[in-house]
Structure 1
Amino acid sequence: MAPRLFLVLLWAWFSFAPVHAQAWQCRTPAYVPRPALELPTSGEIRRSPVKGYTLALSWSPEQCRGRKHDPFMRYQCSGEIGEFGFVLHGLWPETNGPRYPQYCRTVGVLTREVVRSNMCVTPTPQLQQHEWAKHGTCMAKTPEAYFGAARLLFHAIQFPDMVRLSRQSERGTPLAAATIAEAFAELNEGLPVDAMRVKANKNGWLEEVRICLGLDFKPRKCPRRAKDTANSATVKVWRGTVKAAR
């Protein structure tokens, strides 16, 4: 798909969605390092037909727990460029079944300009390289088109007050995974609960919210997978230093 058409189609579907900035603001760094090259092994290359997409949103406080001084996570976790709530893990092409396409072609290292333009949604340069090499190469001809599409989708999402939700269990009512999905659905018209998967780690802490999209980039019902967190499962939300939404 041509990069311009790719973005126009996305904008058509999400132009009526209210854009909502997260309460904590990011300051794009003047200088960012270039990531390292990522090359797949021959066994990792899969060119399966694309049947839909997943927009993966990571809960940054959980990712950053105990990693404030990790140089790999410097920009996301140190507070140097801001405090993050949800960040963009990636936009992933899906197929029917588990063998989703990946590493569709070999690409070089992202330019600093591309990395810088995405630092306030995906504030880890090496993760950007990984997402482009593994997923973006199966969706777009250029990193600008791939990340541009991902940013449009990310900025179209209104985020619930996760601090308020995190305190629900402290008031004596367990927080279910379904409740987090419902909070997103209430704020985002056209995003049903069954188009989301809430992912918690083995200790029950929220890691990600994943939104399932069709080929038209409209939300669609997620296929259930064995490793998914059950809707009824109790989920804890690590707040870190994130402030409540305004």
Structure 2
Amino acid sequence: MAVSPFPAAAQAYQCRVPARVAVPNVRPDGPARRMPVTGYVLALSWAPEFCKGRERRAADAVQCSGANGRFGLVVHGLWPQGRSNWPQWCPTTRKPSPADIRANLCISPSARLQGRQWAKHGACMVRTPAAYAKVTRILYQGLRLPDFDQLSKDPELNVGLIRRRFAAANPGWRADAVGVKLNQRGWLEELRLCYDRRFMPAPCGRRLGPPDRAPVRIWRGL
């Protein structure tokens, strides 16, 4: 099924949802942790960097092969936070339906990833996979994302510029609510957007990442 292009504000790349979607089985790889939720992090992965060297991997075909479109910032996950740690792997027998996964596949282009994010994080914040997918979709679609292709060419590019450009594009956001994650080579890997319990932007604290002056490069997939 073809899907129309994203709005210009949300990384305007074409996306085509596969005709069939397999629902993954997920096993915990760590202990269950239940605790009160104090806030949330919406982690957005920079797809061109993630896909470097993964173009032919079957597990990453939707995002990286090019057959289903090209992607910019996509959802890694929505993570509830606690005071000194974060809840995870809360027991549940539920898993996403094919419809739940398809609804978000153009913003989180991996059924395997979506299944894992629900099991590890979503089950600790809402009752159903459909609710987790809906909240994630609402948050993502409410963002105005800067043009990261253009930003990558800015001669003054550093981590602080990424934070300032994002805050300028999104009224109500401050730079200290925009976490940035770089890989070991200094390339942009993720944005980590921080919210309070009401889903309002909040200072990131430990999720903030490198200081503003840190250099960064942005791979454009060329």
TM over 0.5: yes
Alignment length, in residue pairs?
Answer: 216
CA distance in 1, matches of 2:183, 2:171: 28
> In structure 2, which of residues 7, 13, 27 is the aligned counterpart of residue 39 of structure 1?
27
- What corresponds to 2:11 in structure 1? 22
CA distance in 2, matches of 1:228, 1:195: 11
> In structure 2, which of residues 126, 142, 150 is the aligned counterpart of residue 164 of structure 1?
150
CA distance in 1, matches of 2:167, 2:14: 23
Give the counterpart letter for 1:213 in structure 2: Y
TM-score by structure 1 length? Answer: 0.83
- What corresponds to 2:221 in structure 1? 240
SS in 2 for 1:20: helix
Is the contact between residue 92 and residue 135 of structure 1 (CA under 8 Å) also seen in structure 2?
A: yes
Matched, 1:208 2:197: no
Show structure 1 runs of 5+ residues with no match.
1-17, 242-246
- What corresponds to 1:90 in structure 2? 77
Is the contact between residue 88 and residue 124 of structure 2 (CA under 8 Å) also seen in structure 1?
A: yes
215-224 or 19-28: which moved more? 19-28
- What corresponds to 1:6 in structure 2? none
Report deviation, 1:114: 1.4
Matched, 1:54 2:35: no
SS in 2 for 1:84: coil
CA distance in 2, matches of 1:29, 1:84: 15
Report deviation, 1:108: 4.2
- What corresponds to 1:231 in structure 2? 212
Is the contact between residue 95 and residue 118 of structure 2 (CA under 8 Å) also seen in structure 1?
A: no
CA distance in 2, matches of 1:160, 1:222: 20
CA distance in 1, matches of 2:187, 2:156: 13
Show structure 2 runs of 5+ residues with no match.
1-6
- What corresponds to 1:15 in structure 2? none
CA distance in 2, matches of 1:68, 1:39: 26
Matched, 1:123 2:146: no
Is the contact between residue 20 and residue 156 of structure 1 (CA under 8 Å) also seen in structure 2?
A: no
% identical equivalent positions: 45
Matched, 1:105 2:65: no
Give the counterpart letter for 2:102 in structure 1: R
Q: 1:240 to 1:210 in 2, by over 3 A?
A: same
CA distance in 2, matches of 1:61, 1:67: 10
Report deviation, 1:133: 0.2
- What corresponds to 2:159 in structure 1? 177
